[in-house]
Amino acid sequence: ARADLYLAVSRYVELQLTAAGVPADRVVVVPDGVVMPAESAAGGTTVLALDSSDPGKCGRAMREAGALAGINIVFSNDITRDLPRAGVFLYISESEGLGSAALLAMAHGVPVVASRVGGLAEAVEDGVVGLLTGNEPAAIAACLRRVLDDEPLRRTLGSQARRRVEEFFTIGRTAAQTLLAYEKVLG
């Protein structure tokens, strides 16, 4: 209650804060930023997902989707290392403030198949930089097959994903927006 300003990583988080009683004029959206690699790392055909023990990250649904689609999903503890062999980054979650791992994949030119939840739905522009889906294994599998089976689509989504991060989600942009928010508070 004593904070003069709240920084939200997405409009979704902004709505959560205002629904909890934070006055709208005390919330500023400043999305997370990720490091932009010098060049696109994309080019593989692996479906890569973040390895997480968090049940909200839907590991079971992703594994079931992989089985339905006939795809071996690689669950990674180091996505930066593994992105060069990725053809698709799979990010399925019950709730998400923004999805920094998805942004990192996009920065590397890897298209994302993600849950249509929270800030992920803001970061991953459906049909432009990746595909949004429900969390049902059959729906996830269909999206994975669509991207993997259509190489021109995969290349286009990856290229557009990288451009989207360059425009909206770089560390420099996050720092600049954070500084503006601080200046607003300090007058």
Q: What span, in angstroms and rounded, lies between the C-alpha atoms of 145 and 8?
A: 34
Q: In this predicted model, what pLDDT tens digit does every residue of 130-181 receive, in sequence order?
A: 999 999 999 999 999 999 999 999 999 999 999 999 999 999 999 999 999 9
Give me the sign of the Cα torsion angle 84, 88, 155, 97.
negative
- The candidate with the shortest Cα–Cα distance to 119, out of 12, 19, 3, is 12
pLDDT computed for residue 29 by the predictor: 97
Q: What span, in angstroms and rounded, lies between the C-alpha atoms of 123 and 140?
A: 18
Asked whether 93 and 60 are in contact (CB, 8 A), the reply is no
Q: Is 182 in a helix, a strand, or coil? A: helix
Asked whether 165 and 106 are in contact (CB, 8 A), the reply is yes
* pLDDT at 1 > cutoff 80: no
Mean pLDDT value across residues 32-48: 84
- 42 — pLDDT class (breaks 50, 70, 90): low
Indicate the pTM of the whole model: 0.93
How crowded is the C-beta side of 107, counted as CA atoms within 13 Å? 21
Tell me the pairing of strands 27-29 and 73-76: unpaired
